Amino acid sequence: MKTFKKFEKILGVKFKNQDLLKSSVVHRSYLNEHKSFKLDHNERLEFLGDAVLELIVTDYLYNNYPNPEGELTNWRAALVNAKILADIAKSLEIEDYLYMSKGEAKDVNPKARNYILANAMEAVIGAIYLDQGYDMAKEFITNNVLDKLPNILENNLYLDPKSRFQEKSQEIFSVTPNYRVLKETGPDHNKYFKMGVYIKNEIVAEGKGTSKQEAQMDAAKEGLLAKGWE
């Protein structure tokens, strides 16, 4: 069994029931290989933590910003999306404490791993809420999630990649970017697209997806990186 005292120090939370913390980092796949493991996987804690996170973030935004509902919704979405939660999980070293199957542990697919980390982050929040109550959960979220808000607002990260790329392109080049299909494969019910994002007639980046919209978003995300705008 792993020692979780260091993990508690990293999180800044001393658990009354350490099994709650351990359960928060148990992936379902681990139980398939360890039938006698005494704790449950983290999906119920994740369900709870997701709700606690959304409530505390919503409460903070409502009480601190007079902006309209639409803007606050976008800001909240930027704060609680899987990528930012996975990044926070990495900074808290949650990955070092994950219980996963050997197959999951070896999987280096970044999207799949980020999904597991984001879920674990929510499960940790759920565990803190159950063990320590609302105030400690609020303190943890304030210190580790809400502190990302200034950067999100300053860099317009609450906008989707396509909107951010367009905004930057218009600001720097006074041009609206355009998207073109570079490749289209598969039958009608299972299409796969490769799209290029262009500024004037210069291709900046390519993106892939199962729809044109998804491929455009991916191209815009790659374009932000290519131009150093992200």
**Mean pLDDT for all residues in the chain:** 93
The pLDDT tens digits for 171-228 are 999 999 999 999 999 988 889 999 999 999 999 999 999 999 999 999 999 999 999 9
Q: What angle do CA 91, 139, 129 make, to 5 degrees?
A: 90
DSSP string, 152-183: HHHTTTTS-HHHHHHHHHHHHHS---EEEEEE
The reported pLDDT for the residue numbered 2 is 65
Under CATH, which architecture does the 161-226 domain have?
Answer: 2-Layer Sandwich (3.30)
Q: The domain 5-154: what is its CATH number?
A: 1.10.1520.10
Active site residue 122: yes
Active site residue 69: no
Q: Which of 46, 50, 104, 131 is catalytic?
A: 50
Q: Which of 87, 95, 107, 122 is catalytic?
A: 122
Side chain identity at 127, as an amino acid letter? A
In total, the chain counts a number of residues equal to 230
Percent of the chain with pLDDT over 90: 78
Q: Enter the tokens of residue 187.
A: 């039958």
Whole-angstrom distance, CA of residue 216 vs CA of residue 210: 10
The reported pLDDT for the residue numbered 10 is 95
Beta bridge partners of 203: 198
The reported pLDDT for the residue numbered 105 is 74
pLDDT at 1 exceeding the cut of 70: no
Any idea where the domains of the chain sit in the sequence?
5-154, 161-226
Residue pair 125/141 in contact by the 8 Å Cβ criterion: yes
Model confidence pTM above 0.85: no
